[in-house]
Chain A
Amino acid sequence: MRRAIIEGIGGWLPPRVVTNDELAARLDTSDEWIRTRTGIRARHVVSDGMLTSQLAVQAGAKALKSAGTDDVDMVVLATTTPDRPCPATAPEVARQLGLTGRPAFDVMAVCTGFLYALATASGLVAAGTADRVLVVGAEAFSTIVDPGDRSAAAVFGDGAGALLLRAGDDGEPGAVGPVTLGSDGALTDLITVRAGGVEERTRPRPMDDADRYFAMRGREVFGHAVTRMTQAALTAVDQAGWRPEDVDRLVGHQANLRILHAVADQLDLPHDRLVIHLDQVGNTAAASIPLALWHANATGRLRPGDRVALTAFGGGATWGATTLTWPALTTV
């Protein structure tokens, strides 16, 4: 059966690093407070004028180089932080990659965005609509974080990760497994930027300045995230015909170390099967899963033949998971 196969991987982080100590110098927080609550030590952030499209192009170009091809017939970009509210950012990414004319569009499911984009792209490959699709998760998330919000400023970071998918057969290493996805609109307010959309534009008066920034009800998110990421992973593993203990590497959305540990506990997986990248980059929302995969591939934490489960929870609320057997990929 025709399936999407991962054949290239790329990641890119903006050079500017913000350490916990640097945050502690301007906010009421400390390295210890941030580390014990989140597991995060540092995050990368964009410099003035750096756009999400630029991050996406850097990661996308690396994914193409990793696969040794520049022949792509579609670009799907997962982002919460598009360059503009309108139009989508993906066409500009495609143009900068020399892919003008190819279909390109954005997918928005916040921290689950990459799995939604992966489901869309692999479905289009499986259906024969496209033979080779570049799937990118890119975020300049620091631009929507209130600089005075010590929780959000500590957690979120910027970056981009990309996978290149080609048409192949199921059974090949790197074949993207069935993707399970879900959402619950009753949880819209849990993770949100309230202002800037129609809800604000149809009001007689603008919203407060605080509403222009990202807001998250952290404690509630924690419980929902663990529950949904666990359930989604169990569904995906079951659809693959695996048992939970068959998972060699669990790559969860890199929100918070304690969420990842709790998900592993719920799945009865030892913590050493978790791929951890958030300590170095924080929560990069839609970029977190491809960045974690890229880093793990580069460092040997992921090896060809590893059975990998991906799982995420994000704004919407949205969640999703999938499985794959890790292929041999070149890191560039």
Chain B
Amino acid sequence: MSITTSPVFQRITEILDQKFGIAGEDVKPETVLEDVELDSLALIEVALVLQKQLGVQIRTEDLSGSATIADLYELVNVAVEGS
């Protein structure tokens, strides 16, 4: 299964659209978060929303500004699978 069809990826896409106004077509695994105007704090904001929605603990301190959507997905997925 490709990353983009997974429920977690879909959830990330939804949040980026609803909370940060980032269009779905801009959300690709290789997208660097800073390139879609998501600064380092926005990354944590996304993680906090995911944390609440999915009921998991996400290690936000592991996220850096140069991270990609795939990195964010990986972090969330590890949290979901570990919960």
Contacts and interface: CB of A to CB of B under 8 A. Distances in A.
Tell me if chain B binds chain A: yes
Interface of A: 37, 218-220, 222-223, 226-227, 258, 262, 265-266
Nearest to B52: A266
Interface stretch (B21-29, B38-46, B75-83): B38-46
Nearest to B65: A219
A219 B52 contact: no
Interface string B26-54: 00000000000001110011011100100
> Is the interface on chain B under 10, 10 to 19, 20 to 34, or 35 or more residues?
10 to 19
Given A37-B39, A219-B40, A219-B41, A262 B61 contact: no
Q: Which applies to chain B's interface (DSSP): helix, strand, loop or mixed? A: helix
A219 B44 contact: yes
B4 interface: no
Contacts of B41: 37, 218-219, 222, 258
Nearest to A263: B48
B48 A262 contact: yes
A222 B40 CA distance: 10
Interface of B: 39-41, 44-45, 47-49, 52, 60-61
A307 B49 CA distance: 26
Contacts of A226: 44, 48
B61 A223 contact: yes
A299 to B, nearest CB: 28
A222 B44 contact: yes
A218 B61 CA distance: 11
Q: Which 6 A-B pairs have the closest CB atoms?
A: A223-B60, A223-B44, A220-B61, A222-B44, A219-B40, A226-B48
A219 B61 contact: yes
Given A219-B40, A258-B41, A266 B48 contact: yes
